[in-house]
């Protein structure tokens, strides 16, 4: 399914995992980079994108995730044998750009690694970049703006309160945990 993300990235820093979980592998000055430079780079990525998957990913290699080889066997991308894959970037927009901190909105096809996009942005700007935050906004027809908060769900379950969620009033279908637990513990429910 197609997905849409809001990604936060930091220019001038490269890490082993392409995000903040890894160790810093390089620091570079990015003070000369202008918003127009960033704009040109991200607009050039729209369309078919030849993606290099991160070595710290769940992409399967010989039945095991790539991160297994990277962490446990201390293997490089070349040794692991990760192959590039073609994905589609429908759009990228720059939401904010302040010094080295950037927020972009990305609409992409299934299988796209946002860390790969961030890595490529840093590579094309010749300063490195690492992913510092990620929020999935939508997947297929499901959108974050249509979701309910935990407190909304609690209100529905505990108080039979209806929630107006855009196109529907949501009142039924949520059973309070206090009613489910006794059912789960009862003899009638056991397999």
pLDDT by residue, tens only, the chain of 191 residues? 999 999 999 999 999 999 999 999 999 999 999 999 999 999 999 999 999 999 999 888 888 999 999 888 888 888 888 889 999 999 999 999 999 999 999 999 999 999 999 999 999 999 999 999 999 999 998 898 878 778 877 777 676 666 665 545 565 556 666 766 776 676 555 44
Cα 189 → chain centroid: 38
Looking at the DSSP bridge assignments, the partners of residue 13 are: 27
Domain contains 172: yes
**Judgement on whether residues 63 and 133 belong to the same structural domain of the protein:** yes
Amino acid 149: pLDDT? 79
Give this prediction's pTM: 0.80
**Judgement on whether residues 55 and 118 belong to the same structural domain of the protein:** yes
Please report, for residues 135, 137, 153, 166, the alpha-carbon distance to residue 159 in angstroms, rounded to integers and kept in the order given: 30, 29, 10, 20
**Judgement on whether residues 73 and 8 belong to the same structural domain of the protein:** yes
**Judgement on whether residues 44 and 58 belong to the same structural domain of the protein:** yes
**Judgement on whether residues 97 and 57 belong to the same structural domain of the protein:** yes
Q: Which of 21, 54, 16 is nearest to 132 (CA)?
A: 21
**Judgement on whether residues 121 and 157 belong to the same structural domain of the protein:** no
Please report, for residues 42, 56, 86, 116, the alpha-carbon distance to residue 119 in angstroms, rounded to integers and kept in the order given: 12, 13, 16, 5
**Judgement on whether residues 77 and 156 belong to the same structural domain of the protein:** no
**Judgement on whether residues 153 and 132 belong to the same structural domain of the protein:** no
**Judgement on whether residues 177 and 107 belong to the same structural domain of the protein:** no
Domain range for residue 131? 3-143
Amino acid 88: pLDDT? 98
Domain contains 191: no
Amino acid 82: pLDDT? 86
**Judgement on whether residues 172 and 128 belong to the same structural domain of the protein:** no
**Judgement on whether residues 165 and 90 belong to the same structural domain of the protein:** no
Amino acid 167: pLDDT? 47
d(CA 96, CA 128): 18
Instruction: Identify the three-state secondary structure at position 75.
Output: coil
Amino acid 145: pLDDT? 86
CB contact at 8 A, 170 and 163: yes
DSSP 8-state symbol, 102: E
Give the number of domains in the chain.
Answer: 2
Place of tokens 């309160």: 161
């Amino acid at each position: 399914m197609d997905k849409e993300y809001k990604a936060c990235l930091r220019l001038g820093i490269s890490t082993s995992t392409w995000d903040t979980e890894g160790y810093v592998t390089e620091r570079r000055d990015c003070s000369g980079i202008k918003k127009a430079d960033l704009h040109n780079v991200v607009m050039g990525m729209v369309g078919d994108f030849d993606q290099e998957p991160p070595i710290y990913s769940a992409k399967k290699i010989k039945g095991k995730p790539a991160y297994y080889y990277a962490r446990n066997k201390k293997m490089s991308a070349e040794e692991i044998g990760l192959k590039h894959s073609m994905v589609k970037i429908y759009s990228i927009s720059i939401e904010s750009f302040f010094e080295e901190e950037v927020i972009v909105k990305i609409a992409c096809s299934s299988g796209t690694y946002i860390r790969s996009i961030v890595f490529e942005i840093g590579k094309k700007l010749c300063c490195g970049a690492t992913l510092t935050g990620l929020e999935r906004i939508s997947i297929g027809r499901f959108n974050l703006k249509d979701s309910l908060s935990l407190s909304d769900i609690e209100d529905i379950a505990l108080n039979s309160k209806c929630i107006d969620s855009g196109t529907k009033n949501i009142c039924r279908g949520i059973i309070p945990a206090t009613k489910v637990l006794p059912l789960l513990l009862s003899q009638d429910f056991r397999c």
